[in-house]
């Protein structure tokens, strides 16, 4: 079969689908470290992992509505200034299983582990586009290009055996501070095959689907990518839309994440002794470079709330107290407190734009089960 050349994987990953390989980080491993290890990082694929090498035969073409067309090698990419960013990658389907429990949705089931935080190293897309004579901060090229499309070499059934692809707006691609990378490193090492070796796009603050792995082509086009994952998937519909009345063109492709957080130190149904302390730990994260303002925790089912402490700075490269150094990254939070079961522990985060999470999953239910950022609730039974 075409799945004969899959890379080895850590057996501790929670496998949600074997073919194509889709696996998430178990809860406890999510909060083990601020930077998720490569082997425990979630893996989201739509086809077999391509077999590539970064020898002289590997080129990425840059073309479309640009003044200069190019074929760039790994050496060309490595010659550009190297940037390192800490960014959380999250699948738009993270927390889908909980949404599906209210009403069935279509898609691979994910608990709360379809995300991870990594140190990505590579060239800036804005620098690559400069080689093609597209200056910084270009919203539209002279020839009318407004979108940058990334095409992979992997094949998937959703594209009828064609490659995976996606696009982002040209202005985002050419803005240096948007930190869009053509990455060749993850956590200081050469990218692994599962995560896009030899080159992948990393679009921080944006749903994982736009961070195309195994990059083959960069193209500046007049229109956004017409591929399946932009036009027929990863869009959000109101709860009233179902498969019999869906109009795909009526909605835009998802880009930025909403604010989200989850408890990782406890299972959804746990038990504890009355009056004893429990450790509540988890992650909080928002899209578009909006940092986390605070995380509120309730141990009495939502009657009273206290703010959790952050411990995200541990293990961060380039530690600094400025907000900016981790604007693309998650925050890990902790609260140790007495609880009185039976009770519900609830967490909700607020981002730097004062966005809050919706209380109930019903209000944001959508048929594809994307962007579930409702309050995360853990029920605790009395262990005594």
Binding segment toward ligand MTE, per CB under 6 A, in 138-146, 206-214, 235-243, 282-290: 206-214
| Residue 295 backbone phi and psi in degrees, to 5 | -125, 125
Q: Which of 362, 359, 352 is nearest to 375 (CA)?
A: 359
Q: How far apart are CA 57 and CA 367, in angstroms?
A: 42
For Mo ion, the binding residues in 32-61 under the rule CB under 5 A are: 44
Q: How far apart are CA 377 and CA 384, in angstroms?
A: 21
Shortest distance, position 336 Cβ to ligand MTE, whole Å: 31
Angle at 381 between CA 375 and CA 383, to 5 degrees: 145
Per CB under 6 A, 97 contacts ligand MTE: no
- Sequence-distant (6+) residues with CB within 8 A of 315 are 33, 34, 35
User: Measured from the CB atom, is 253 or 341 closer to ligand MTE?
Assistant: 253
Find which of Mo ion, ligand MTE, none residue 147 binds, CB within 5 to 8 Å per kind: none
Q: How far apart are CA 94 and CA 98, in angstroms?
A: 9
Per CB under 6 A, 191 contacts ligand MTE: no
User: Measured from the CB atom, is 46 or 327 closer to Mo ion?
Assistant: 46
Q: How far apart are CA 176 and CA 364, in angstroms?
A: 33
User: Measured from the CB atom, is 20 or 341 closer to ligand MTE?
Assistant: 20
Please list the residues that pair with 351 across neighbouring strands.
292
Site string for ligand MTE, 56-95 (x = CB under 6 A): ---------------------------------x-x----
Binding segment toward ligand MTE, per CB under 6 A, in 171-179, 204-212, 285-293, 348-356: 204-212
Q: How far apart are CA 239 and CA 236, in angstroms?
A: 9
Q: How far apart are CA 72 and CA 241, in angstroms?
A: 44
Per CB under 6 A, 212 contacts ligand MTE: yes
Per CB under 6 A, 112 contacts ligand MTE: no
Find which of ligand MTE, Mo ion, none residue 45 binds, CB within 5 to 8 Å per kind: ligand MTE
96, 195, 217, 281: residue in contact with ligand MTE (rule CB under 6 A): 195
Per CB under 6 A, 36 contacts ligand MTE: no
204, 208, 282, 341: residue in contact with Mo ion (rule CB under 5 A): 208
122, 198, 208, 253: residue in contact with ligand MTE (rule CB under 6 A): 208
Task: Please tell me the number of Cα atoms within 13 Å of 341 on its side-chain side.
Answer: 17
Find which of Mo ion, ligand MTE, none residue 122 binds, CB within 5 to 8 Å per kind: none
16, 25, 36, 45: residue in contact with ligand MTE (rule CB under 6 A): 45
CA 231, 237, 243, 248: dihedral to nearest 10 degrees?
A: -30
25, 141, 206, 211: residue in contact with ligand MTE (rule CB under 6 A): 211
Q: How far apart are CA 333 and CA 331, in angstroms?
A: 6
CA 225, 227, 229, 232: dihedral to nearest 10 degrees?
A: 110
Shortest distance, position 156 Cβ to Mo ion, whole Å: 12
User: Measured from the CB atom, is 154 or 296 closer to ligand MTE?
Assistant: 154
Find which of ligand MTE, Mo ion, none residue 43 binds, CB within 5 to 8 Å per kind: ligand MTE
- Sequence-distant (6+) residues with CB within 8 A of 275 are 338, 339, 340
Binding segment toward ligand MTE, per CB under 6 A, in 41-49, 100-108, 357-365, 367-375: 41-49
Q: How far apart are CA 281 and CA 34, in angstroms?
A: 12
Per CB under 6 A, 124 contacts ligand MTE: no
Binding segment toward Mo ion, per CB under 5 A, in 52-60, 202-210, 272-280, 334-342: 202-210
Pull the structure tokens for residue 276. Answer: 């004893």
* Other beta carbons less than 10 A from residue 4's beta carbon: 7
Per CB under 5 A, 20 contacts Mo ion: no
Burial of 14 (0-12, 13-18, 19+ CB in 10 A): middle
User: Measured from the CB atom, is 212 or 345 closer to ligand MTE?
Assistant: 212
Q: Interface residues with ligand MTE (CB under 6 A)?
A: 41-46, 89, 91, 152, 154, 164, 195, 208-209, 211-214
């Amino acid at each position: 079969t075409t799945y004969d050349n899959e890379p080895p994987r850590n057996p501790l990953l929670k496998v949600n689908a074997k073919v194509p390989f889709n696996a998430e980080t178990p809860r406890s491993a999510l909060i083990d470290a601020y930077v998720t290890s490569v082997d425990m990082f979630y893996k989201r694929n739509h086809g077999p992992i391509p077999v590539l090498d970064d020898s002289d035969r590997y080129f990425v073409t840059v073309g479309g509505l640009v003044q200069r067309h190019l074929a760039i090698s790994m050496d060309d990419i490595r010659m550009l200034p190297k940037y390192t960013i800490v960014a959380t990658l999250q699948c738009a389907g993270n927390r889908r299983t909980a949404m599906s429990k209210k009403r069935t949705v279509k898609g691979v089931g994910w608990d709360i582990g379809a995300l991870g935080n990594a140190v990505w190293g590579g060239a800036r897309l804005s620098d690559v586009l400069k080689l093609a004579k597209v200056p910084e901060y270009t919203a539209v090229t002279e020839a009318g290009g407004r979108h940058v499309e990334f095409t992979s070499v992997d094949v998937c059934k959703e594209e009828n055996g064609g490659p995976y692809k996606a696009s982002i707006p040209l202005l985002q691609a050419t803005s240096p501070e948007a930190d869009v990378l053509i990455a060749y490193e993850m956590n200081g090492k050469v990218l692994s095959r599962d995560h896009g070796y030899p080159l992948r796009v990393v679009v921080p603050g944006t749903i994982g689907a736009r961070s195309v792995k195994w990059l083959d082509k960069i193209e500046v086009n007049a229109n956004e990518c017409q591929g399946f994952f932009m036009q027929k998937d990863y869009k959000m519909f109101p709860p009233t839309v179902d498969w019999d009345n869906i109009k795909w063109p009526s909605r835009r492709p998802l880009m930025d994440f909403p604010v989200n957080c989850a408890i990782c130190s406890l299972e959804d149904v746990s038990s504890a002794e009355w009056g004893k302390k429990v450790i509540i730990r988890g992650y909080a994260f928002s899209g578009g470079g909006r940092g986390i303002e605070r995380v509120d925790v309730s141990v009495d089912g939502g009657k009273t709330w206290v703010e959790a402490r952050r411990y995200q700075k541990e293990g961060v490269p380039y530690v600094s107290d400025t907000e900016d150094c981790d604007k693309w990254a998650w925050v890990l939070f902790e609260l140790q407190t007495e609880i009185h079961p039976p009770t519900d522990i609830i967490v909700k985060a607020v981002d730097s734009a004062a966005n809050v999470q919706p209380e109930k999953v019903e209000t944001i239910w959508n048929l594809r089960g994307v962007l579930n950022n409702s309050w995360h609730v853990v029920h605790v039974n009395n262990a005594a």
